[in-house]
Amino acid sequence: MIEKEQVKIAFCENGKGFGGAAISLQTYLSARSSWVKPLIITGQAEGEYVCYKDFGTWETIVQPRNFNALAKDLLGKPIGSMADNLFNIVPTALKFARLFVKHRIDLVYLNNDVYSNLAAALGAYLVRKPVMLHLRGFCEISPSSCWVVRHLRHLAYVSEAIKHNALEFGIPEQQMTWIPEGINTDYFAKGNANNIRHSLSINTENLVVTLVGGLVGWKGQDILITAAPAILDRYPNTIFLLVGSAYGHFNTIENQLLELIKELNLKNKVLMLGKRNDIADILAISDVVVHASTLPEPLGRTVVEGMAAGKAVIAANEGGPLDVITHGMDGLLITPRDPQGLAHTICELLDNFELRQQLGAEAIKSAQKYSVDNHVRCVEAAIIKALEAK
């Protein structure tokens, strides 16, 4: 059996920042079975990516950016893309190929999406290494993405929304596997509210509404901020917590949000906490957890984290949250991009303590399918399928 042998797998993580995909890979590697021998290749060598050195051999390949979006605009997309492939993708692919040969890799595991791992996929093709893709984001149909999908041994998807996206490429359904994200549900269930209340100067009389998400422009912090005045009219003791950083992006979004907070006179009511390592404690003091992404979410780890903490979670009714939440049973789904609707739903929950408790209790049960143990089992089942596929 494959499980009893040492299998050398190159995990390629070349996303733009240490977000959900990178965190999920970290979660898997920390709990993987002993028969998986990892080579981790990342596109960044600093910050949180250093954590990967604890899980196996860690290498970095930084892809050059000689042809950015502006250059493509000036040259025209077809010519710009050709230049990008020639001067960026191909040289980077050769670096991947050398590592795959050097470490005698049995399988190349693309962790994220097609575009961020195009060079890795090409490198694997050049040295005839089988490839599987853990698709965590929506992907447009293009010649390059179709080429990658056509050469996959197996595709894993994080939600039904991503599965439907993958089916558009013509990949057979039997060549795909659903992998639930891995969430340390015990960690989020054991948050300590006392310490965090003191450090943030939040009293027990305050109601707390929390949104956790990176500052990347589509996570919907502006939607919650815009909804805040209507909520404060009804519950003036409400505090809004925004948790997350730009992880690799410029601070443009943060500055825009701070300007919106100032414009709506919400100073001391909306607190931007940046990146935190005590998310469980922050969720513990939260009465309502909000997901307000303005684009369809591939899954929404923060939705599951809020549910694992036993909180009433509100999420946009599109994309990944449709898999996670059963409306009215373990959370609430609302129309996306609607600050007034969000304010109304938050007030409904703040009106009804028993409903919040009821939703939170059911949410804890629903979150268990995203446990780390289940995640590891599903990842390794997909790896075996990829290795055994013709």
Q: Where are the domains of the chain?
A: 2-182+371-388, 185-370
From 284, 299, 295, 279, select the one nearest 212 (Cα to Cα): 279
CA-nearest of 182, 270, 254 to 219 is: 254
- Read off the amino acid at residue 345: T
**What pLDDT was estimated at residue 17?**
81
Q: What is the pLDDT along the chain (390 residues), one digit of tens a residue?
A: 455 579 999 999 987 788 889 999 999 999 999 999 999 999 988 889 999 999 999 999 987 765 555 555 555 555 555 555 566 888 999 999 999 999 999 999 999 988 889 999 999 999 999 999 999 999 999 888 999 999 999 999 999 999 999 999 999 999 999 999 999 999 999 999 988 998 999 999 999 999 999 998 899 999 999 999 999 999 999 999 999 988 655 588 999 999 999 999 999 999 999 999 999 999 999 999 999 999 999 999 999 999 999 999 999 999 999 999 999 999 999 999 999 999 999 999 999 999 999 999 999 999 999 999 999 999 999 999 999 987
Cα–Cα dist 253/240, whole Å: 17
- Residue among 36, 40, 37 nearest 26 (CA): 40
Please enumerate in sequence order all residues whose Cβ is within 8 A of that of 87, keeping only pairs 6 or more positions apart, or say none: 64, 66, 67
Supply the pTM of this predicted model: 0.90
The answer to whether the beta carbons of residues 308 and 364 sit under 8 Å apart is: yes
**Three-state DSSP state, 152:** coil
Contact between residue 66 and residue 82 where contact means Cβ atoms under 8 Å apart: no
Query: Tokens in use for 382?
Result: 């997909």
The pairing of beta strand 131-135 with beta strand 107-112: parallel
Residue pointed to by tokens 């999920």: 24
Nearest to 220 by CA among 191, 184, 166, 260: 260
* pLDDT value for 62: 86
Return d(Cα 226, Cα 235) in angstroms, integer. Answer: 15
Q: Report pLDDT for 274.
A: 93
Q: What is the pLDDT of residue 116?
A: 87
Bridge partners, residue 109, by sequence: 11, 132
| pLDDT value for 68 | 53
Query: Can you count the helices (H) and strands (E) in the chain?
Result: 17, 13
CATH, domain range 2-182+371-388: 3.40.50.2000
Measured CA to CA, the distance from residue 62 to residue 182 in angstroms comes to: 27
pLDDT given for residue 16 in this prediction? 76
Domains 2-182+371-388 and 185-370 share a fold: yes
Q: Facing residues of 177 across strands?
A: 156
pLDDT at 74 (0 to 100) = 55
- Which pLDDT belongs to residue 156? 98
Decide: residue 102, CB within 10 A, 0-12 exposed, 13-18 middle, 19+ buried. Answer: exposed
CATH fold label, 185-370: Rossmann fold (3.40.50)
Measured on CA atoms in the order 81, 85, 86, 88, is the torsion positive or negative?
positive
How much helix, strand and coil, in percent to the nearest 5, is found in the chain?
Answer: 50, 20, 35
